[in-house]
Amino acid sequence: MKTTLQTLTIGLILILFGCGQSNKKSKITNQTLNKVTVAFSGHGCEGECPYQALSVDNNLIANFYGGPFADRIGFYKGIVRQDVWDSVQSRFAKFISNGIDTTEFEKTDQPFVELVINEGVKKYSFLKNTGKMTSEDLNIFYWFIRLPSKTNSLKKCDSLTFVTSIQYPY
């Protein structure tokens, strides 16, 4: 009787532990972002800050615009790998719950960055001066906008449309 009770207790613990593990795993891998778009204005910088925009969506399609001072000039379209999209989702999901972290000090000669995240039918938009952002958040934006320079899968095209307003020079 004691052995049966111990066996049942151990079995119940294993079942509960297994259920808890599967729930944790599904929360980590079940991202809901549909599209992430980041645009840098190029304005507000005393140097040569690039005008550029990049959007990547859950179909792994990337659209890029590079204006004056960008590494690539023109409109580009292509495909990103699944691991890149997974990394985009994990990095940008934090902005939905936390927003963009800011510091108390502001560097005034910095460009603006515009972020648009589509999650299901919801749309989140942020517009911040990069001189006010924390370096951790700013690194996420710079990592994202530099993705086109790390891939050859983007091919030049005639034009693209972005949901942002700041990436084009006046």
Cβ count near 101 (within 10 Å): 15
Same domain membership, residue 98 and residue 25: no
Same domain membership, residue 61 and residue 106: yes
CATH code at position 125? 3.30.1560
Show the domain range for 41. Answer: 33-157
Does residue 2 sit within a domain?
yes
Decide: pTM greater than 0.95.
Answer: no
Does residue 162 sit within a domain?
no
Residue 106, Cα to own-chain centre: how many angstroms? Answer: 23
For residue 10, report the phi and psi dihedrals to the nearest 5 degrees.
-65, -40
Cβ count near 142 (within 10 Å): 14
Tens digits of per-residue pLDDT, 20-59?
443 332 233 345 899 999 988 876 666 777 889 999 999 9
Tens digits of per-residue pLDDT, 81-135?
999 999 999 999 989 888 888 776 666 667 788 899 999 889 898 888 788 888 8
Per-residue pLDDT, 120: 87
Burial of residue 77, with CB atoms counted within 10 A of its CB: 0-12 exposed, 13-18 middle, 19 or more buried: middle
pLDDT-derived band at 63 (thresholds 50, 70, 90) equals: very high
Domain count, the chain: 2
Same domain membership, residue 66 and residue 26: no
Cβ–Cβ under 8 Å, residues 56 and 154: no
Does residue 164 sit within a domain?
no
Same domain membership, residue 140 and residue 93: yes
Tokens coding 6: 């111990």
Cβ–Cβ under 8 Å, residues 147 and 54: yes
